[in-house]
């Protein structure tokens, strides 16, 4: 009897919900977790581990990548594979708080719709027509967040610690996914992560920005599937459930 495959779990980033991972999860079925109502990465990871069973392939986007690494720290034996997309391992830079405060001021003073208009465009890197098609849904996603949920996630991000040692100590298969137009978590950041985890596969998707899973879902799903099949985490032509 063949060994059961691990379950795929998709972890959402800041101000995000299932809409970001849904196009990829259509090709690679799995559970999607978003994190409104949390103010620490540790609690986010704990909630995912408590709500799932057995071995997992954690697929984290942006803040979700940080949650995935925290889950590795908490339960390394349960993580059969790790996909880190548009993310990093470094602690907050000294200037990060001020940059995030500027967006907090917009959200508090003008509302979540204004935050969406300020925050989303710099995240995008796809062709203009693709961005125009995506923006209504992404705006609705951000506007659907309560201010307190956003503030909680910012608290979690500013409270993060250096996850480099966690990544360096993980011995399972890793896929590092970046996009050539990602200005927030650029390819060079993923190359530095690759140096910490030499067993990792590094893939750079062209024509997309920080919102890679929704900007280029086909390329994202294909990269994850190829990597997963190569490492025995997925059977070609079969889903992960």
Q: What is the pLDDT of residue 236?
A: 76
Average pLDDT over residues 70-96: 96
Average pLDDT over residues 162-170: 97
The separation between CA 47 and the C-alpha centre of its own chain, rounded to angstroms, equals: 16
Could you list the beta-strand ranges (E) of the chain.
7-11, 31-33, 56-61, 79-85, 174-179, 201-205
Specify the number of domains making up the chain.
1
Q: What is the pLDDT of residue 4?
A: 83
Average pLDDT over residues 177-186: 96
Residue 79 in tokens: 């993580």
Average pLDDT over residues 183-200: 96
Sheet holding 56-61, edge to edge: 31-33, 7-11, 56-61, 79-85, 174-179, 201-205
Q: Residue 239: which pLDDT band, with cuts at 50, 70 and 90? A: very low
The separation between CA 180 and the C-alpha centre of its own chain, rounded to angstroms, equals: 16
Residue 86 in tokens: 């548009």
The owner of tokens 């951000």 is 142
What does the pLDDT look like over 21-63, one tens digit per residue?
Answer: 999 999 999 999 999 999 999 999 999 999 999 999 999 999 9
38: containing domain = 1-241
Q: Are the C-beta atoms of residues 30 and 81 closer than 8 Å to each other? A: no
Average pLDDT over residues 75-97: 96
What does the pLDDT look like over 101-132, one tens digit per residue?
Answer: 999 999 999 999 999 999 999 999 999 999 99
Average pLDDT over residues 183-211: 97
| Angle of the 63-74 helix axis to the 147-158 helix axis, nearest 10 | 60
CATH no. for residue 2? Answer: 3.40.50.1820
Average pLDDT over residues 76-93: 97
pTM: 0.95
Q: What is the mean pLDDT of the chain?
A: 95
Handedness of CA 98, 103, 104, 105 (dihedral sign): positive
Q: What is the pLDDT of residue 3?
A: 73
Average pLDDT over residues 139-162: 97
Backbone angles phi, psi at 120, to 5 degrees: -70, -50
pLDDT surpasses 60 at 240: no
pLDDT surpasses 50 at 227: yes
The owner of tokens 């506007």 is 143
Find all residues with CB under 8 Å of 126, minimum gap 6, and list them: 134, 181, 207, 208, 209, 215, 216
pLDDT surpasses 60 at 202: yes
pLDDT surpasses 60 at 80: yes
Q: What is the pLDDT of residue 235?
A: 85
């Amino acid at each position: 009897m063949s060994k059961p495959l691990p379950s795929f779990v998709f972890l959402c980033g800041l101000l995000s919900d299932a809409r970001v991972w849904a196009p990829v999860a259509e090709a690679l079925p799995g559970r999607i977790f978003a994190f409104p109502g949390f103010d620490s990465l540790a609690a986010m990871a704990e909630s995912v581990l408590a709500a799932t069973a057995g071995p997992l392939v954690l697929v984290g986007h942006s803040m979700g990548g940080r949650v995935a690494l925290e889950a590795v720290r908490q339960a390394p034996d349960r993580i059969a594979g790790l996909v880190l997309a548009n993310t990093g391992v470094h602690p907050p830079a000294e200037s990060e708080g001020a940059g995030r405060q500027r967006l907090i001021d917009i959200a508090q003073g003008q509302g979540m719709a204004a935050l969406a208009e300020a925050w989303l465009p710099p995240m995008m890197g796809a062709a203009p027509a693709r961005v125009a098609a995506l923006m209504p849904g992404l705006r609705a996603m951000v506007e659907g967040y309560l201010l307190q949920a956003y503030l909680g996630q910012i608290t979690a991000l500013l409270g993060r610690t250096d996850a480099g040692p966690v990544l360096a100590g993980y011995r399972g298969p890793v896929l590092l996914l970046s996009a050539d137009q990602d200005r927030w978590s650029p390819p060079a950041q993923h190359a530095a992560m690759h140096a910490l985890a030499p067993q990792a596969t590094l893939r750079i998707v062209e024509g997309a920005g920080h919102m890679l899973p929704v900007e280029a879902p086909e390329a994202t799903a294909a990269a994850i599937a190829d990597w997963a099949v190569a490492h025995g985490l997925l059977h070609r032509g079969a889903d992960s459930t």
